[in-house]
């Protein structure tokens, strides 16, 4: 009867920002990003992509609580970069990777079906 709506798990409430970030007060080039209504799916790929960036000294994410539908991504970079730059670059690279993957899969399907036709 008083159960929360199921969509609360993935719909960002009005007046809430999807992504917000806060700089670390003590460390230069360190910040925490709060991503609303996301989970391990996004958190883990961003973290792993950040690890590919040599300017990233630390990157980690956590899902603080299963009933708090948000993740925290913490990034610490060298002075050559900044947390926002690294974060943006990670998303950009992931997006391009997926775009490439989709094209590769479509081409592979054409090849696969061509092989079938030739009675492979």
Partner 1 sequence: MEGAVSYQRFPKVRIREIKDDYMKFELRETDASIANALRRVMIAEVPTVAIDLVEIEVNSTVLNDEFIAHRLGLVPLTSDDAMRMRLSRDCDSCDGDGQCEFCSVEFHLNVSCDSDQTLDVTSADLRSTEPRVCPVDVAARALSLGVDSTSYDTGDHRGILIVKLRRGQELRLRAIARKGIGKDHAKWSPAATVTFMYEPEIHINEELMETLTLEEKRNWIDSSPTKVFDIDPNTHQVVVVDAEAYTYDDEVIKKAEAMGKPGLIEIYGKEDSFIFTVESTGAIKAYQLVINAIEILRQKLDAVRLQDSEESDFGELSAHL
Q: Which of residues 56-95 bind partner 1 (CB under 8 A)?
A: 79, 82, 84-85, 87-95
DSSP letter for 3, please. P
Exposure b/e, 4-21, CB count within 10 A at least 16 = b: eeeeeeeebeeeeeeeeb
Report the nearest approach of partner 1 to the CB of residue 65 (Å).
17
**DSSP string spanning 76-113?**
EE-TTS-HHHHHHHHHHHHHHHHHHHHHHHHHHHHHHH
Among 4, 6, 67, 120, binds partner 1 (CB under 8 A): 6
Among 16, 52, 64, 68, binds partner 1 (CB under 8 A): 52
Binding interface with partner 1 (CB under 8 A)? 6-7, 9-11, 18-19, 21, 23, 28-29, 35, 38, 40-42, 44-49, 52-53, 79, 82, 84-85, 87-102, 104-106, 108-109, 112
């Amino acid at each position: 009867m008083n159960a929360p709506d199921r969509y609360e798990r993935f719909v960002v409430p009005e007046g809430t920002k999807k992504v917000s970030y806060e700089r670390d007060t003590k460390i230069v080039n360190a910040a925490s990003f709060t991503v609303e209504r996301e989970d391990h799916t996004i958190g883990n790929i961003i973290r792993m992509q950040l690890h590919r960036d040599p300017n990233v000294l630390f990157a980690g994410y956590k899902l603080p609580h299963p009933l708090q539908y948000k993740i925290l991504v913490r990034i610490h970079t060298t002075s050559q970069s900044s947390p926002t730059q690294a974060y943006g670059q990670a998303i950009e690279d992931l997006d391009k990777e997926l775009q490439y993957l989709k094209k590769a899969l479509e081409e592979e399907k054409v090849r696969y079906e061509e092989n079938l036709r030739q009675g492979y």
